[in-house]
Structure 1
Amino acid sequence: VAVTAAEADVRPLLGPGVDIAAVNGPSSVVVSGEREAVADIVSRLVERGVRTRGLRVSHAFHSPLMEPMLDRYREVLESVEYAAPRVSVVSGVSGAVASVEELCSPEYWVRQVREAVRFADGVRTLADMGVRTALELGPDAVLSALARECLAAEGADDFGGEDGVVFASALRRERGEEAELLGAVATAYTRGAAVDWPALFAGRGARRVDLPTYPFQRKTYWLNATTVTGDAAGFGQQRSTHPLLTAVVDLGGTDNGTVLTGRLSLTTQPWLAEHTVSGVVMLPGTSFVDMAVHAAALVGCAGVGELMHQAPLVVPESGGVALQAVVSAPDEQGRRTVEFYSRPDDASDDTPGDLPWTLHTSGTLVPEPAPARTDRADGVWPPAGAERVELEGFYEGLAAEGYAYGPLFQGLKSAWRAGGDLCVEVELPSASRDQAAAFGVHPALLDAVLHATEFVGDDTREDGEVWLPFVWGGVVLRATGASVVRARVRS
């Protein structure tokens, strides 16, 4: 008989010849045994207003009435050959994950017949293990309904949400078997389960098609600001493909140099607002590196020999700044100098000299690439024997030190110590990965690599003092468009 009561309320009523056969939920148990003993318990529960329902079964399973057959059953089980399971099994006897020793023991299967089925405990174990999709293989959706009740009683009633538990039933009475089974498998597939769809459609002439868009995909349709504010060719310049340096001017004469120009503002480059140091928005030093590499490729150089930052470039909250990258003519060795200047928009069109240009960064572009490293990693990641570095609270700690980085610049995802080196993995947020192809290396990605320097060397900063990257050397770009980078930081 199934009763709507908790195990703790039913167990004190048990007597000779009767036992609890199943604990299906926090307020759902089954009592089983001699007819008169069961009827006595039922009558007392009914007097308390508890609902009961007789079950149609052939035997009083999981009760004392099974004991006469246990010895003979054990003899049969001892003749069976057992093997370790290929997947984890949550035991109906204990409600916990069964060990190999248990499942390969005849005594365990004897207990299956006599002891209660602890279904509710098993459901809780699965949820605690992180199971978020359950497929019920049976003639109806009875177990799915019971499992929902188990979790709902504990407040875990978010069924179908990203973090909730979804129960899919392979069969339901009075419904078509094929549609119901495929619906359950499809539900599991949308939750991340691996399904061999080609095997299902083999020989049927099926093919993949593009799905239509949906009206509520959480995709915004606001017009994104563009960094291009006019036709460079119309102003006697050449169009540049770099997001920050949008035009190019080749100075007159025979290779007298090149000037790349652009304009920075939080309207046209809103992502810069996520790089705040000591309360002001600064152009990341890695942006100068990426622009220098772009300038080098434009004038036929192989890379950056050295780049030295002299003054930070502050991006104002409103308005913008004009930006110039001035590349000199080559010297006898083919090297060129590069200098980055900025000036606020407030400079008058009629009297441009009122506001001087500020030199932020200068360096050299070289015709030959830096020699390749000979101590590169062997491809194993993370390196063998490396010790993981805990990163929880890392960016909160940086914010307290004056480095207030937004999600785009919080790219340091994992780190390991390998001897004196720090091996890190950084990545752009998924929503920003389409920006990666516009840069040689996205400044936020390269900047995140520098965050790992917090874990190497001696930090001799005084309270309230912030450090910024100062000198770069031997920079060569060998691939573009990366959204994930692995790096080795050596102190």
Structure 2
Amino acid sequence: EAFAGRKSKRLTVSHAFHSPHMDGMLDDFRQVAEGITFAAPRIPVVSNLTGALVSDEMGSAEFFFAGTGARRVDLPTYAFQRQRFWPSAVAFAGGDPESIGLGDAAHPLLGATVALADSGGVLLAGRLSLETHPWLADHVIHGGVLLPGTAFVELALCAGDQVGCDVVEELTLEAPLVLPERGGVQLQLVVEAPAVGGGRAFAVYSRRQDVVGEELWTRHGSGVLASGARS
């Protein structure tokens, strides 16, 4: 918009003045500027080229940046054109999680599974938060958001699927799992190697993800997984 005193008028132009579309009419614009008589400005003007007050250097058609030592440079890219140069975590993993022994748990509460090398057990891990699992906010007890007991059953069933057990033979809840208002908790479900008779003991642990330092894991429940075919 052009401003004169307290009045304003929207200019009837088809494009922005500071766009490359200006290049096609610079010669015509110069002819018009050369036919105008200029006077020193009555209102002080600070040049964005020199940073000093303008005297009479604007009174010429030769005013853009000739003679100032300025040069043209490429403008920064827009936000949607930016390029990222952070190293990919996939590259450190050798291409995919499976290359370092991690498998997909294929469960909304558990993200990865790995077979433990020294015990024949299995570890399932995940992350819970109100941001990623907003439906958990419906289970409020005494002002705190708790992981419901049915979720522990679901975790046990998921673990059973990973080790070939289709029955949760035992499940004892030992401590509530409280979700923080902000941030999340790391979740681990450890399944031990098969015992005599085929049953596999398991336990569920968690700890706050945003706590600085080494926080101890809290054990929330334990039980036994089994196969429905055993006697």
TM-score range, shorter chain: 0.5 to 0.7
Which runs of structure 2 are paired with 1:343-354 in the superposition (5 Å)?
A: 343-348=207-212, 354=214
What is the aligned partner in structure 1 of residue 169 from structure 2?
A: 305
- Secondary structure of the 1:326 match is strand
Q: 1:246 aligns with which of 100, 111, 115?
A: 111
Q: 2:194 aligns with which of 316, 330, 333?
A: 330
Which runs of structure 2 are paired with 1:306-455 in the superposition (5 Å)?
A: 306-348=170-212, 354-368=214-228
Displacement after TM superposition at 1:250 (Å): 0.3
Report the RMSD for the aligned CA atoms in angstroms.
2.3
What is the aligned partner in structure 1 of residue 126 from structure 2?
A: 262
Supply the distance in 1 between the matched residues of 2:120 and 2:175 (Cα, whole angstroms).
26
Displacement after TM superposition at 1:302 (Å): 2.3
> What is the percentage of aligned positions where both structures have the same residue?
47
What is the aligned partner in structure 2 of residue 233 from structure 1?
A: 98
Q: Deviations over 1:119-147 (max 9, x none)?
A: xxxxxxxxxxxxxxxxxxxxxxxxxxxxx
Does the aligned pair in 2 maintain the 1:301–1:368 contact within 8 Å?
A: yes
The aligned amino acid for 1:246 is G
Over 3 Å counting, the alpha-carbon distance change for 1:268 and 1:343 in structure 2 is: same
| Higher helix residue share | 1
Does the aligned pair in 2 maintain the 1:303–1:369 contact within 8 Å?
A: no
Q: Confirm or deny that 1:276 pairs with 2:140.
A: yes
Over 3 Å counting, the alpha-carbon distance change for 1:317 and 1:252 in structure 2 is: same
Over 3 Å counting, the alpha-carbon distance change for 1:369 and 1:316 in structure 2 is: farther
Q: Deviations over 1:292-318 (max 9, x none)?
A: 011112101121101000000001110
What is the aligned partner in structure 2 of residue 294 from structure 1?
A: 158
Q: Which has the higher contact order (CA 8 A, sep 6+)?
A: 2
Supply the distance in 1 between the matched residues of 2:180 and 2:120 (Cα, whole angstroms).
33
The aligned amino acid for 1:355 is E
Over 3 Å counting, the alpha-carbon distance change for 1:369 and 1:311 in structure 2 is: farther
Supply the distance in 2 between the matched residues of 1:263 and 1:241 (Cα, whole angstroms).
13
Supply the distance in 2 between the matched residues of 1:257 and 1:300 (Cα, whole angstroms).
12
Displacement after TM superposition at 1:243 (Å): 0.6
Unmatched segments (≥5 aa) in structure 2: 1-89, 91-95
Supply the distance in 1 between the matched residues of 2:211 and 2:122 (Cα, whole angstroms).
23
Displacement after TM superposition at 1:246 (Å): 0.9
Displacement after TM superposition at 1:370 (Å): 8.7
Does the aligned pair in 2 maintain the 1:302–1:369 contact within 8 Å?
A: no
Does the aligned pair in 2 maintain the 1:336–1:366 contact within 8 Å?
A: yes
Which runs of structure 2 are paired with 1:70-81 in the superposition (5 Å)?
A: none
Supply the distance in 1 between the matched residues of 2:229 and 2:133 (Cα, whole angstroms).
31
Does the aligned pair in 1 maintain the 2:204–2:222 contact within 8 Å?
A: yes
Over 3 Å counting, the alpha-carbon distance change for 1:322 and 1:333 in structure 2 is: same
Does the aligned pair in 1 maintain the 2:101–2:115 contact within 8 Å?
A: no
Over 3 Å counting, the alpha-carbon distance change for 1:335 and 1:274 in structure 2 is: same
Does the aligned pair in 1 maintain the 2:139–2:147 contact within 8 Å?
A: yes
Displacement after TM superposition at 1:360 (Å): 0.2
Unmatched segments (≥5 aa) in structure 1: 1-229, 372-491
Supply the distance in 2 between the matched residues of 1:343 and 1:237 (Cα, whole angstroms).
21
Equivalent residue pairs, number: 138
Which runs of structure 2 are paired with 1:451-490 in the superposition (5 Å)?
A: none
The aligned amino acid for 2:102 is Q
TM-score (norm 1): 0.27
TM-score (norm 2): 0.55
Q: Deviations over 1:224-261 (max 9, x none)?
A: xxxxxx864366411110110110010014x6200000
- Secondary structure of the 2:179 match is coil
Q: Deviations over 1:17-63 (max 9, x none)?
A: xxxxxxxxxxxxxxxxxxxxxxxxxxxxxxxxxxxxxxxxxxxxxxx
* Moved beyond 4 Å, runs of 4+: none
Does the aligned pair in 2 maintain the 1:337–1:363 contact within 8 Å?
A: yes
